[in-house]
Structure 1
Amino acid sequence: MLRNRTIRRLSLSAALLWAPFVLHAASHRYQYDSVHSQIVFSIDHNGYSRPFGRLHIARGWLQFDPDDWSTASTELDIDLASVDMGDAEWNAAVCKPALLDCAHDRYAHFVSTSAERKDDQHGVLHGQLTLHGVTKPVDLMFTLNRVARTIYGLHTVAGFSASASLQRETYGITAFANSIGHDVAIWMELEAIRGDDDKNSEKDKP
């Protein structure tokens, strides 16, 4: 009888010790796939149209548990020098100091502060965006598209769509106020590869 009680106590102790690891076992670290992740933005051009531009994610990571979004966190760098407006001269103009100032501040940096779940697929990611040397809060409205193995079973991928809006003057970008709009609409299509599946990922780097 004493032996059975001792075994039960040891089993309970082991279960309690392992409980924190079991609870967080579904949270994984992902690296953004820069090939399949893109950022598109749009801004008014003197009332005639709202042209689109594209940017690439240089690097970044995501911590995500599909069952507990409150633990989600992310950090990423956006390469401003990758801006593509569809014309080489236009790209160069947007990169000048009066606008994105790509040579001086090449990367915009986003780091999350918290995440909230709205329903099974939708949520809001709160964070801080540093652009043009200025850091301001930004909210990303996002949709969880899918978390699954790829068709060839090579990786586990988490896919998201996100959107946000910001005022360029908030970040000190005030040039050409009479011809360039103030409100910038942003859309993001993101894929991230789970770190323990990606043998080439640098897990300790953002």
Structure 2
Amino acid sequence: MPSARLLLPACLALAPLAVAATPVDYQFDPVHTQVVFNVDHNGFSRAFGRLKVREGTLRFDPDDWSKSSVQATIDLTSLDMGDAAWNKAVSASAFLDTAHGDTARYVSDAVEKRGADEGVVHGHFTLRGVTVPLDIPFRVNRIGRTIYGLHTVAGFSSSLTLDRTAFGMTSNRNSVGTTVTVWLEVEAIRGGEAPSSSKDTHDAPAQ
């Protein structure tokens, strides 16, 4: 029978294998994922808009970010500028041109870790039929169960700028800025768990 002196090193050698993390798949939560942008309006102010993510998935490995990935489809018809006339103008052919394509899509090529909770996604973004390389810096906010134990969630934040002319939106330069600032607030639910709904917060027990 093996002695304790022989068993101990063997157990220690196997221990890292037992706790090694693996990539986890998540589905974007459309209720708690926001795409907010703004652009200069004739130098007077910055106009704000919001878009929804139609669907998306991400894979995240907390121990090896290089094994992570993301893909997301943005619903351009969900545009909300806070005014019906603004929505119509921005959805028209001069800008988003939703009549010829109602989605935009991002697909990652690689994920790079640059700090304890910060990284960059390298990938490609397609809008109006034009695909350009796009790096998205991001911060990992939190990964864990929600306060009421409804879901296992991964939360991320990001901000970046886009040049709208790179996607063929070259009109109205005198009145609408060409640099668009974008903020991303993402919550993704671990695969296999039910998606979130607007009732989750309302039905949660009072504290």
TM beyond 0.5:
yes
SS in 2 for 1:89: helix
Q: How does 1:73-88 map to 2 (within 5 A)?
A: 73-88=69-84
SS in 2 for 1:97: coil
Is contact 2:189–2:195 with CA below 8 Å preserved after alignment?
Answer: no
Asked if 1:186 corresponds to 2:182, the answer is yes
Correspondence for 2:37 among 36, 41, 49: 41
Asked if 1:58 corresponds to 2:49, the answer is no
| Residue matched to 1:120 | 116
TM-score (norm 2): 0.83
- Deviation of residue 178 (structure 1)? 1.2
Is contact 1:166–1:183 with CA below 8 Å preserved after alignment?
Answer: yes
Correspondence for 2:91 among 91, 95, 107: 95
Asked if 1:108 corresponds to 2:122, the answer is no
SS in 2 for 1:91: helix
Separation in 2, partners of 1:135, 1:27: 28
- Deviation of residue 163 (structure 1)? 1.3
Count of aligned pairs between the two proteins: 187
- Deviation of residue 26 (structure 1)? 2.7
| Residue matched to 2:150 | 154
- Where does the alignment leave 5 or more consecutive residues of structure 1 unmatched? 2-7, 202-206
Asked if 1:69 corresponds to 2:45, the answer is no
Separation in 1, partners of 2:126, 2:194: 30
TM-score (norm 1): 0.84
SS in 2 for 1:153: coil
| 1:136 partner letter | V
Q: CA RMSD in A?
A: 2.2
| Residue matched to 1:130 | 126
- Deviation of residue 76 (structure 1)? 0.5
Q: How does 1:16-27 map to 2 (within 5 A)?
A: 23=20, 25-27=21-23
Percent identity reads 53
Correspondence for 1:140 among 121, 136, 141: 136
- Deviation of residue 83 (structure 1)? 0.9
- Deviation of residue 180 (structure 1)? 0.8
Separation in 2, partners of 1:170, 1:31: 29
- Deviation of residue 154 (structure 1)? 2.2
| Dislocated runs of 4+, deviation >4 Å | none
- Where does the alignment leave 5 or more consecutive residues of structure 2 unmatched? 2-6, 197-207
- Deviation of residue 51 (structure 1)? 1.3
| 1:72 partner letter | S
| 1:49 partner letter | S
Separation in 2, partners of 1:33, 1:52: 22
- Deviation of residue 22 (structure 1)? 7.2
- Deviation of residue 200 (structure 1)? 6.1
